[in-house]
Amino acid sequence: MDPMMPPPVRRIALERDPHVAPSNDNGAHAASVLGASAAPAAPAPYATPALERMRVESVWLAYGERWVVRDVSLAVRQGEILALIGASGSGKTTLLRSLNRLTEVTSGAARSGQITLDGEEIHELEVNGLRRRVSMVFQQPNPFPMSIFDNVAYALAEHPARGGRRRRRTSKIESAVADALQRAGLYDEVADDLSRSALRLSGGQQQRLCIARALAAEPEVLLLDEPCSALDPISTATIEQLIVALRESVAVVIVTHNLQQAQRVADHVAFMHLGELVEYGTSEQIFDRPKLQRTRDYVGGAFG
């Protein structure tokens, strides 16, 4: 093997049950994960062929005069995790944000090409409905300054739009909130008092709360923009485990500049450079047998 290639990192064991919550004792569990032997676990084969959720076709994105994404075509499938890797400025975050039309919030953003969700072009869908089906978690944990319960309840599609703070805690809303917190692996830690302010949680807990919030509306696709870059290694490991557990029920797209994280977590990897999609393939292909020199250089750490 090429001595420039990084050694294979042990992959987190892939969970088959999507609703298993990570253990309460995060420290010990993460430590065992991080300190395990170097034997890589073979990825479990798919029981069913992966269902395609979104398709990106020949998409060009520009901010004002500058082209940020050039002619990218990708598929996002449920049951697998797609990692977008690349150096800063490669357009991976912009591409991610275009998937739920968040680029429109910036004035001067232009787009050409097609992005479809379940066959429908997303620009013809109602934007708020689209964003409920394609949820996003950001780099910096950004819980609202409300209680934990209200944070997740706010995201529920069926919660009544009137009434502001006094949201009625119907049993339906309560169970939906508890379910979302379970799926995000946060329920056990906060169940004793859900009316605590969300701002008092630790960074890792806040990020899991943001994931719970994103999951509350039962999205079809979950977009993650470098979710662990602001977190310590233990929180990172917990969240990576959680993401892998989620991939059965939602299609996951994660942008990361941490190559080891991409190796640990991703099934398919898309390497972007200066706006272009340089190479796309499975995780083994990109990290062990890259086809292009530029991919080999980036994965080997020659630049980035």
Partner 1 sequence: MAGMPLTSPPSAPDGLTVTRPRRQRTSSWPLIDRIGYWLCWATGIALCLIAFGIVLFMFVKGISYLKLSLLLHSPAPSTKQSESGGFFDPIVGTFILTALGVLIAGPVGVAIAAWLSEYGRPRPLARAVESAVETIGGVPSVVLAIFGLLVFSADFLGFLSQRAANGSVYGRSFFAGGIIMAVLALPLIVGATREGLAQVPDHMREAAYALGKTKASCIRHVLLPAIRPNIASGVVLGMGRIIGDTAIVTILIGVTLQNEAVGSVPVLGTLRGTGSTLTSYVYNNSPAGEGGSPQKAYAAAFVLLIVVLLLNALVTRITRGADEDRRGMATRMRSLARIAWTR
User: Which of 108, 160, 203, 233 lies at the binding interface for partner 1 (CB under 8 A)?
Assistant: 203
Letter for the amino acid at 96?
A: L
- Supply the minimum distance, in Å, between the C-beta of residue 134 and partner 1: 9
Dist CA 72 CA 206 (whole Å): 33
- Supply the minimum distance, in Å, between the C-beta of residue 201 and partner 1: 5
Which lies closer to partner 1 via its Cβ, residue 9 or residue 230? 230
Dist CA 266 CA 186 (whole Å): 23
Q: Does 206 bind partner 1 (CB under 8 A)?
A: yes
- Supply the minimum distance, in Å, between the C-beta of residue 276 and partner 1: 26
Q: Does 62 bind partner 1 (CB under 8 A)?
A: no
Q: Does 46 bind partner 1 (CB under 8 A)?
A: no
Q: Does 135 bind partner 1 (CB under 8 A)?
A: yes
Interaction mask 136-175, partner 1, x per CB under 8 A: x-x-xxxxxxx-------xx-x---x--xx----------
Number of residues located near partner 1, criterion CB under 8 A:
38
- Supply the minimum distance, in Å, between the C-beta of residue 168 and partner 1: 14
Site stretch for partner 1 (CB under 8 A), options 45-53, 87-95, 195-203, 265-273: 195-203
Which lies closer to partner 1 via its Cβ, residue 252 or residue 278? 252
Dist CA 141 CA 228 (whole Å): 9
Which lies closer to partner 1 via its Cβ, residue 211 or residue 262? 211
- Supply the minimum distance, in Å, between the C-beta of residue 203 and partner 1: 6
Q: Does 128 bind partner 1 (CB under 8 A)?
A: yes
Site stretch for partner 1 (CB under 8 A), options 81-89, 133-141, 170-178, 255-263: 133-141
Q: Does 100 bind partner 1 (CB under 8 A)?
A: yes
Q: Residue 72's Cα: distance from chain center in Å?
A: 19
Residues that bind partner 1 (CB under 8 A): 100, 102, 105, 127-132, 135-136, 138, 140-146, 154-155, 157, 161, 164-165, 197-203, 205-206, 210, 213-214, 217
